[in-house]
Amino acid sequence: MNVLVIGANGQIGKQTVALLVKKTGVNVIAMIRKEEQRAALEQLGAKVIIADLEDNFSSAYNNIDTVIFSAGSGGHTGPEKTIAIDQNAAIRAVQYAEHYNISHFIMVSSVWADKPENGPESLKDYLIAKGNADKELQKSQLNYTIVRPVLLTNEPATAHISDYTTGRTTITRADVALFLNTIVGNVKTYKQTYTFQNGDTPIEKFIK
């Protein structure tokens, strides 16, 4: 199975690559933006493709089975970059996946993407952009999984999560990466949306 990780140099993306390269039968293609990011990902064992999310990046999809979109504009960019990456690039990623008949598309989204009014005002543009991309994926013909983690932290992985209920709870980026690693190739996650936080349920049991 060939897995394309879009946004592979991001904090979640890089941890996901590190896990996926250890899976039997999985070849990881890490899509990044800058040449100087190449060495670290190749050292992990991934093949690297350099492409610009604000341009045509469809050539990255050649011979790909599964796509993980974990790219983001970052917390220090303005609304224009948020729309360009978190919405428009994500939507193009979905459209390319349809064209290439990708078997499984995994979207890393966000809590409140479906209801931006419930999130912090400072994240409104981001949540709207994420929500629009999610809608494009949901109306596609793809086998998709939408992953909506709550507020992210850099604590070590716990491998335990639970359904999000309410409030401003947290999840480690390492646990999001573990979740992504677990759902690759898992047909039970097709057409599913998961919104979760750190909790008491082992990730494998949470998915089942």
Distance between CA atoms of 165 and 105, rounded to whole angstroms?
25
Angle at 128 between CA 123 and CA 129, to 5 degrees: 100
Closest CA to 68 of 119, 19, 141: 19
> Tokens standing for 153?
């932290």
Q: What does 109-123 look like in DSSP terms, one character per residue?
A: --TTSS-GGGS-GGG
Contact between residue 7 and residue 71 where contact means Cβ atoms under 8 Å apart: yes
User: In the block, which residue shows the tokens 């899509």?
Assistant: 31
Greatest pairwise CA separation for the chain in angstroms: 43
Catalytic residue among 61, 96, 126, 144: 126
Active site (annotated) includes residue 100: no
Contact between residue 132 and residue 91 where contact means Cβ atoms under 8 Å apart: yes
Other beta carbons within 10 Å of 91 = 18
CA neighbours closer than 13 Å in the CB half-sphere of residue 19 = 20
Catalytic residue ranges: 126
